[in-house]
Amino acid sequence: MTKARLSAFVTTAAASGLLFGCAADGGQAPNALSAATPTAASEAAELHTPATIDNFMLADTDYMGHELYRTDAKVIVIVTQANGCPIVRNLAPSLKALKAKYEGQGVQFLMLNSAVQDSRDAIVAENKDYGFDIPILMDTNQLVGEQLGVTRTGEFFVVDPKTWKIVYRGPLDDRQTYGSQKAEATHTYAADAIDAALAGRQVMATNLQSPGCLIDFPNRKVATISYVKQVAPILEAKCAGCHTEGGIGPFAMSSYEMVKGFSPMIREVIRTDRMPPWNVDPHVGKFADDKSLTPAEIKTVVHWIEQGAPRDGTADPLAAAAKKRVVQEWPLGKPDLVLELPTYKIPASGVVDYQRPIVVNPLTEGKWVKASTYVVNQRQAVHHFLSGYLKEVPADGKGNESRWGASMGGYAVGAESTLWPKNVGTYLPPGGAIGFQAHYTPFGKEVTDASKIGLYFYKDNEKPGLVMRNSVVVDNTIKIPAGEARHKETAYLDVPKEMLLYSAFPHAHYRGYASDLWLRTPDGKETLILAMPRYDFNWQREYTFAQPLKVPAGSKLIAHYWYDNSKQNPANPDPTKTIVWGDQSFEEMFYTAIRYRWTEETSAKLTENDRLMDETRLLGMFDDNVDGKIEKAEFKGELGDKLAPYFAQMDQNKSGAIENSELMAALKVMGGGRRRDQAQQAPAAAPAPTAPAKSGGR
């Protein structure tokens, strides 16, 4: 657009006297959005657009994560949105048409909601009413909107992913002007910019004023932030525990100079939600020991870095604290019992099969476990440890998981300790052995691992009254097509008796993208209890609910996993392969470990409820539409392929679907008793703090 045309555009808009336009019914835009509106001319003069767009990760209203730089799109279009604005509401039909025209040409469309007043539920309702048909990203902390210099709704940002340059910012077209009543667009600015970007041509109009509703950014201009009083206390409280000498973090936050030097990287990992390593969405559920930064803390640290990470005063709180900070071998204190795992020499390269060492149990009398901690000797090489009690010491010295009883806890990166709630424990009988499942991953250097586990017991006079149980929502029938970017799998557990759910631990491998966990009660109501928009294979942990969740008898715990088997996934070993369940990280898993207790069970009166839950486990793997029966198309994976030819014989009541009783009967007739038992056990092959389904009791 020429300067003369832009001047005429702004003058016409200002002269119309309609700074926002009207809703379809003639109503004015909401006061909350239209207050203190500057003239169009003055705002156009102040419009600032960065040359490029930085990477970010935001969840949409379906709790699916979107990392900007993780894409194979040829062009990306971001449209700003806020609820209640008639300008952006009236864009819905045009947006649909634009998407229909260009999506097949490799153009990705996203909407961005940075409005502080809009909740997730409100955005969902707005989208339902107006049918934008584009993921709406929840910019709750406003960092992306601030970065882009957003001022209004209805702004189109056209981005070239080859360079991450913003090649166009402005309205959809010249109908989207102040008070415009044009039926047809004379200048299709956004479409012209998309065409030019696809063709590799320079965009003619690049930075135009949009007439949408104003969006409030209260922290866009903040006073200089204090390192001493504001930033250092946040880093010390939330980050330095790992980022310390000898800690798991890659560098120590030991001084202002260290933080200043790493400040661009700190900003990036916060904006892309890689740090802190707390991957559940803050809008869903409340969790104990929350490791995340609060919205205020996020904005304080990021804004301080964007101000140039200035230092104030002469004191350095981080340096002073670093002198006192000590990485403790046993952070929970000295254990009551330390068990040393057999040493294992890990080669520099290749694939190491799962190892299953045992440690003879030295106890001569039973104990109730209340906590455990792993001290891992070779962090780079140890992927995970799992454990389970063995009644007898195996003659072959191998602790196969099919014989495991109660779990003594597990290890994964970032999850070294497992704590039982007060008055809840797991019984460790005398004698026998503790079996371990050890997954080692070579990293280019031959090393010998000598890890150990510390166990903490209730005192003899404080026997817990309640029993911790452990199981898993698992699906070893998964089948992930080659090249698919968002493949979804579903599995569930039928809960036969009332339980209190304490925690959940999602686990997948390199292709894992997102995960969630739902509670469906017998009345049909479904509640999302955990949402993980972006799964991170490098940081895995147990998420303990702030208050245990009551799960009524007859409920279902339903898990979904999404997998990225496309070339967009930088960790994908081979996007050309169809992937099924497997132990190694280049294979895949669907595994959400849970800790819970049966409300009717006490340490003096154990139940068989775990066995009842196990009896429907295989049904929950196959039944993807969660209707309580298996259709022929739902038989998948290795076992599904074997069973599918016998579908008609298995369907004894000729209902057209396989019910659980029919499934169990068929497996028994086919000599599948052993296979059934193996399928019903939770495959103990993931870094969960608690292991197989048969754990928890004596």
State the pLDDT at residue 246: 85
User: Pick from 265, 297, 324: which residue ends a domain?
Assistant: 324
- pLDDT at 175 (0 to 100): 82
Average model confidence (pLDDT) for the chain? 89
Give yes or no: residues 475 and 456 share one domain: no
CATH code at position 21: 3.40.30.10
For residue 291, the model assigns a pLDDT of 87
| Integer Cα distance of 145 and 81 in angstroms | 11
Residue 216 lies in a domain: no
Residues 175 and 262 in one domain: no
206 within some domain? no
The whole-number pLDDT of residue 683 equals 41
Tens digit of each residue's pLDDT (9 = 90 or more) over 337-352: 999 999 999 999 999 9
CATH number of the domain at 449, please.
2.60.120.230
Please report whether residue 520 resides in a domain. yes
pLDDT given at position 44: 45
For 351-364, the pLDDT digits (tens) are: 999 999 999 999 99
DSSP string covering 78-116: EEEE-TT-HHHHTTHHHHHHHHHHHGGGTEEEEEEE--T
pLDDT confidence band for 671 (50 / 70 / 90) = low
Strand partners for 492: 558
Residue 26 — very low, low, confident or very high, per pLDDT cuts 50/70/90?
A: very low
Q: With beta carbons less than 8 A apart as the criterion, state whether 30 and 192 touch.
A: no
Structure tokens at 557: 């715990």
- Show which of 275, 303, 324 is a domain's final residue: 324
pLDDT at res. 451: 97
pLDDT in tens, 480-531: 999 999 999 999 999 999 999 999 999 999 999 999 999 999 999 999 999 9
Residue 227 Cα distances to 232, 255, 491, angstroms = 6, 11, 48
Please state whether the predicted TM-score (pTM) of the whole model is above 0.85.
yes
Tokens for 338? 């330390």
Does one domain contain both 506 and 456?
no
Per-position DSSP letters for 643-660, written without gaps between them:
HGGGHHHH-TT-SSSB-H
The reply to whether 181 and 293 lie within a common domain is no
Looking at the structure, tell me whether residues 73 and 95 fall in a common domain. yes
Comparing 260 with 27, which gets the higher pLDDT? Answer: 260
pLDDT at 266 > cutoff 70:
yes
523 with 650, same domain: the answer is: yes
436 found inside a domain: yes
| 211 lies in some domain | no
Do 85 and 180 lie in one domain? The reply is yes
Q: Is 348 part of a structural domain of the chain?
A: yes
* Chain CA centroid to CA 175, Å: 40
Residue 436 near residue 563, CB atoms below 8 Å: no
Give the model confidence (pLDDT) of 380-433 as tens digits: 899 999 999 999 999 888 888 888 988 999 998 777 799 999 999 999 999 999
Task: Find the domain containing 303 and state its range.
Answer: 227-324
Confidence band, pLDDT 50/70/90 cuts, at residue 46: low
Q: Are residues 191 and 161 in the same domain?
A: yes
Question: Is it the case that residue 698 has pLDDT exceeding 60?
Answer: no
Nearest Cα to 304, choosing from 259, 254, 239, 244?
259
Q: Do 176 and 275 reside in the same domain of the chain?
A: no
136-183, pLDDT tens digit by residue? 999 999 999 999 999 999 999 999 999 999 999 999 998 865 545 566
Q: Are residues 456 and 479 in the same domain?
A: no
Contact 631, 622 (CB under 8 A): no
Alpha-carbon span 285 to 657, nearest angstrom: 36
| Tally of domains in the chain | 4
pLDDT of the residue at 205: 82
Examine the pLDDT at 8 and tell me if it is beyond 50.
no
Q: Report yes or no on 696 lying in a domain.
A: no
- Whether 456 and 585 share a structural domain: no
Which residue's structure tokens are 């009398």? 365
Contact 284, 529 (CB under 8 A): yes
Query: Residues 684-696: what's their mean pLDDT?
Result: 34
455, 481: one domain: no
> For the chain, how many residues are written?
698
Poorest-pLDDT segment among 267-271, 471-475, 619-623, 672-676: 672-676
In a domain, 697, yes or no: no
The pLDDT, as a whole number, for residue 247 is: 85
